[in-house]
Amino acid sequence: MNRDPQAYWRKTRRLTFCLLFLWFCITFGSTWYAREINQVVIFGFPLGFYMAAQGGLVIFLLIIWWYNRCMKKIDREFGLEEE
């Protein structure tokens, strides 16, 4: 059990910035490469359609789930978990 607030916030910031970077890459990467992505057709619709309609949302939910999981682990490590 570590009680160093500097270390806690350093880990929290690192996790947050890494996941924000991933979010940024997914959001803007899928639009930047939309023409290339749309070359792939699934059930008569371009892949960009699926990425916009469902793929991005699923990935964003996975990012939120991962953040929650990692924050619980960090909170446990620093003795800040809820009872």
What does the pLDDT read at residue 83?
62
Provide the mean pLDDT of the chain.
88
- pTM here is 0.78
Residue 80: pLDDT band (50, 70, 90) is confident
Q: For residue 61, is it within any domain?
A: yes
Contact status, residue 34 vs residue 50, Cβ threshold 8 Å? no
Tally of structural domains, the chain: 1
pLDDT in the model for residue 16? 97
pLDDT confidence of residue 51? 76
Mean pLDDT within 27-53: 83
| Domain around 26 | 5-77
60 touches 22 (CB < 8 A): no
Angle at CA 65, nearest 5°, toward 62 and 67?
Answer: 110
Q: How would you classify the pairing of strands 45-46 and 41-42?
A: antiparallel
| pLDDT reported for residue 50 | 76
- Whether residue 34 is contained in a domain is answered as yes
Residue 83: inside a domain: no
